[in-house]
Amino acid sequence: MTNETVENALPSGRGSRRDAQKGGGWKLFLRDLVIIFVAAILISFLIKTYLVRSFYIPSTSMVNTLQVDDRILVNQLEPRFFPISHGDVVVFTDPGGWLPAVSSEPDNWFIGAVDGVLAFVGLSAPDSSNHLIKRVIGLPGDTVECCNEFGQLIVNGIPLEEPYTVLPDAVTKATPDDFSVTVPDDSIWVMGDNRYNSADSAAHRDDPTGGFVKIGSVVGRAFLISWPTDRWTMLDNYPTTFQRVTQNAE
């Protein structure tokens, strides 16, 4: 082989190496893309399982704080690691017979599959209709009563000024029926902000549950309206309303 022949062969070899490197680059890119995608899915799943979940609002029981079809984010660290407070808005599973039976069958297999994937990463909540959302009025050991002469709820002897409630026109009584309960050690007393249109603790006080919700049934504290975007807002637990109640409890 002459020098000329060798020199002419070299560029062809370099080209082959470049082609191989290009092919390997695409493979590395695709591998990295798959790793990033899988990692994002796993992180989303862990966040949804242990930190934050999304739910939608199916009813009017929390109007005007929450509207039908609002999407909310729920902090699952409460009550797992941090205690529930008076005034918190909490999501909980049905304590027993509070909700009618609801079919969970999807409209078709494709919608069911998409909803399942979104639910896996926490972007959908197909089980929202199996959960309830209310405001915490009584904590373990509290005595909750309705009502004083001004129609106010009384917690541990303290009448509540409740700016978050919705009552029918010309009605001042905080909830339809009179009652006096003491909250058990492992439970909470919850009520909807739309007091005359909410199947809450007061409405279920004659049930086997006594109207109480086990703390272990609480999924977490709702802290943000995430959708629609024009309703983005943090959810308030109105500490001023419950300040004296908390002080008395301490």
Residues 19-64 have pLDDT tens digits of 555 556 777 778 777 777 666 666 665 565 568 988 989 999 999 9
- Under the banding of pLDDT at 50, 70 and 90, the label for residue 5 is very low
Percent helix, strand, coil in the chain (nearest 5)?
Answer: 35, 25, 40
DSSP H or E segment with residue 177: none
Q: Residue 63 corresponds to which tokens in the numbers above?
A: 């109007």
Among residues 61, 128, 198, 217, which one is catalytic? 61
Among residues 48, 124, 128, 134, which one is catalytic? 134
| pLDDT at res. 3 | 46
Residues 76-113 have pLDDT tens digits of 999 989 999 999 999 999 999 898 865 455 455 544 54
CA angle 40, 42, 45 (to 5 degrees): 110
If you count them, how many residues does the chain have? Answer: 250
Residue 119 has pLDDT above 60, yes or no: no
| pLDDT at res. 25 | 74
12 among known catalytic residues: no
Q: Tell me the one-letter amino acid at 85.
A: S
Q: Provide the 3-class DSSP secondary structure of residue 241.
A: helix
Average pLDDT over residues 153-159: 97
198 among known catalytic residues: no
Between residues 34 and 118, the one the model is more confident about: 34
Q: Between the CA of residue 25 and those of 28, 33, 37, 159, 182, what are the distances in Å?
A: 5, 12, 18, 70, 68
E strand segments, 101-177 = 131-138, 143-146, 153-155, 158-159
Q: Distance between CA atoms of 76 and 12, rounded to whole angstroms? A: 62
